[in-house]
A = this chain, B = another copy of it.
């Protein structure tokens, strides 16, 4: 495995690896670093599907809002390089902010509608920052496949919309959420949690699991019932401050009306939530597949 820091170097390394390998397809796993088992699962999925696996590690300033945690976002380059190599990466791209933005960008890629609810509503401008940097990475790496975790389900939907609308020649591969044994969805931000917050944060995965069971057994039938169930359950944890609890069609992410059924719906339905514990904002979700799928 090789670590490279400039765009020219990366393009050259990809070119020579593609030429050397039998399977010349390129897989990209874009990350913000501080890699955990969720990222490792993406890298392994890329390794399985493509000949050249590129992992990018870049904490992208333009997707953070004022007052968010850009400066304090956890970073550990040495551990990340070992984790990427272990999981099967061929190349790790570690650009500086200056390499990615030698001048403040005047160009933005913006997706509408899919970005209007959920995290898009709580974090204005966030997804413009995400689509812009992912578009840049697609142009730099020119991957055949790109791998994203379903914990950021809205991000998957937004990136897929961008790829579809702008004809990027890349296939997006969404990968399942990876959880701790006790259910907490893996996130680089979990390190922010105090032991007490960490314990109470289990309410997120637990309430989503219970909601899913209640939907499947017929005790919950409508979007409104699901939202009220989740809101009540989460509010039982005294440290939990709900940002949003939403039930929306996936991948269009139009919110379901309160009376709409969640299970006979002809699209997949996403139950998604964002909840703060102290200064740490966590997200989690559960996808209910439509009967046709």
Contacts and interface: CB of A to CB of B under 8 A. Distances in A.
B107 A161 contact: yes
Interface residues of A, number: 28
A112 B108 CA distance: 8
A139 B167 contact: yes
Given A106-B161, A161-B106, A140 B167 contact: yes
A61 interface: no
A269 interface: no
Contacts of A165: 105-107, 136
A267 to B, nearest CB: 15
A62 to B, nearest CB: 11
A111 interface: yes
Contacts of A112: 106-108
Given A166-B136, A167-B7, A108 B107 contact: no
A63 interface: no
Interface in A96-115: 103, 105-114
Nearest to A104: B165
Interface string A186-216: 0000000000000000000000000000000
A114 B106 contact: yes
Nearest to A7: B167
A52 interface: no
A132 interface: yes
A237 B157 CA distance: 55
A151 B27 CA distance: 41
Contacts of A167: 7, 136, 139-140
A131 B107 contact: yes
Interface string A143-162: 00000000000000000011
A167 B95 CA distance: 13
A135 interface: yes
A110 B113 contact: no
Given A7-B167, A106-B113, A136-B165, 16 more contacts: A106-B114, A107-B109, A107-B110, A107-B112, A107-B131, A107-B161, A107-B162, A110-B110, A135-B166, A136-B166, A139-B166, A139-B167, A139-B169, A140-B167, A140-B169, A142-B169
Interface of A: 7, 11, 103, 105-114, 131-132, 135-136, 139-140, 142, 161-162, 164-169
17 contacts: A103-B164, A105-B165, A106-B112, A106-B114, A107-B110, A107-B112, A107-B131, A108-B110, A108-B112, A109-B166, A136-B167, A139-B166, A139-B168, A139-B169, A140-B169, A142-B142, A142-B169
* 9 tightest Cβ-Cβ pairs between the two chains A and B: A107-B165, A139-B167, A105-B165, A136-B167, A107-B111, A107-B162, A140-B167, A106-B112, A106-B113
